[in-house]
Amino acid sequence: MTQSSIVIIGAGQAGFQAAASLREQHHTGRIVLVGDEAHAPYQRPPLSKAYLFDEETGDVALRTDAFFAQQRIELATGRRAVAIDRAERRVCFDDGWTLEYDHLVLATGACNRLLTVPGADLRNVFYLRTLDDAKALREQLATARSLMVIGAGFVGLELAAGAAKLGMSTTVLDVSDRPMARGLSKTMAGVISREHQKLGMQLRFETRVTRLLGDDDGRVRGVETSDGQILPAELVVIGIGVVPNVELAASCELAIEDGIAVDERLLTSDPQISAIGDVAAHVNPYPHGQRVRLESVQNASDQARCVAARLVGRTSPYEAVPWFWSYQGDLKLQMTGLARTGCEEVVRGELDSAACAVFSFHDGRLACVETLNRPVEHMLARRLLATRATVTARQVADPSFDLKSLLPKPGAGAAVR
Q: Which residues of the shown chain bind ligand FAD in the complex (CB under 6 A)? A: 9-15, 34-37, 44-45, 47-48, 80-81, 107-110, 128-129, 155, 245, 248, 277-278, 295-298, 300, 324-326
Least distance to ligand FAD from the beta carbon of 118, Å? 26
Least distance to ligand FAD from the beta carbon of 209, Å? 20
Least distance to ligand FAD from the beta carbon of 85, Å? 15
Classified as helix, coil or strand, 289 is coil
Which CA distances in Å does 172 have to 124, 146, 203, 223?
Answer: 16, 11, 5, 12
Q: Which is nearer to ligand FAD, 298 or 395 (CB)?
A: 298
Q: Which is nearer to ligand FAD, 94 or 177 (CB)?
A: 94
Q: Which residues pair with 202 in a beta bridge?
A: 171
Which CA distances in Å does 374 have to 194, 256, 354?
Answer: 18, 38, 9
Least distance to ligand FAD from the beta carbon of 385, Å? 17
- Taking a C-beta distance cutoff of 8 angstroms, is the pair 403, 385 a contact? no
Which residue type, as a one-letter code, is found at position 413?
A: G
Strands 146-150 and 209-214: unpaired
CA 109 to chain centre: 9
Alpha helices in 353-398 (DSSP H): 375-386, 393-397
Q: Which is nearer to ligand FAD, 106 or 384 (CB)?
A: 106
Residue among 310, 308, 273 at smallest CA distance from 105: 273
Least distance to ligand FAD from the beta carbon of 336, Å? 11
Classified as helix, coil or strand, 196 is helix
Least distance to ligand FAD from the beta carbon of 156, Å? 10
- Rounded CA gap, 31 and 249, in Å? 20
Residues 6+ apart with CB under 8 A from 142: none
- Rounded CA gap, 165 and 176, in Å? 24
Q: Which is nearer to ligand FAD, 262 or 403 (CB)?
A: 262
Q: Which is nearer to ligand FAD, 97 or 350 (CB)?
A: 97
Least distance to ligand FAD from the beta carbon of 406, Å? 26
Least distance to ligand FAD from the beta carbon of 40, Å? 11
Classified as helix, coil or strand, 337 is strand
Alpha helices in 100-255 (DSSP H): 131-141, 154-165, 186-198, 247-251
Angle, nearest 10°, between helix axes 186-198 and 154-165? 20
Q: Which is nearer to ligand FAD, 74 or 231 (CB)?
A: 74
Q: Which is nearer to ligand FAD, 94 or 215 (CB)?
A: 94
- Rounded CA gap, 306 and 282, in Å? 13
- Rounded CA gap, 212 and 224, in Å? 6
- Taking a C-beta distance cutoff of 8 angstroms, is the pair 91, 81 a contact? yes
- Strand 220-225's sheet: what is its strand order? 209-214, 220-225, 230-232
Q: Which is nearer to ligand FAD, 277 or 329 (CB)?
A: 277
Least distance to ligand FAD from the beta carbon of 294, Å? 7
- With vertex at residue 130, the alpha carbon angle to CA 127 and CA 134, rounded to the nearest 5 degrees, is 65
Q: Which is nearer to ligand FAD, 45 or 119 (CB)?
A: 45
Least distance to ligand FAD from the beta carbon of 301, Å? 8
Q: Which is nearer to ligand FAD, 34 or 164 (CB)?
A: 34
Q: Which is nearer to ligand FAD, 35 or 214 (CB)?
A: 35
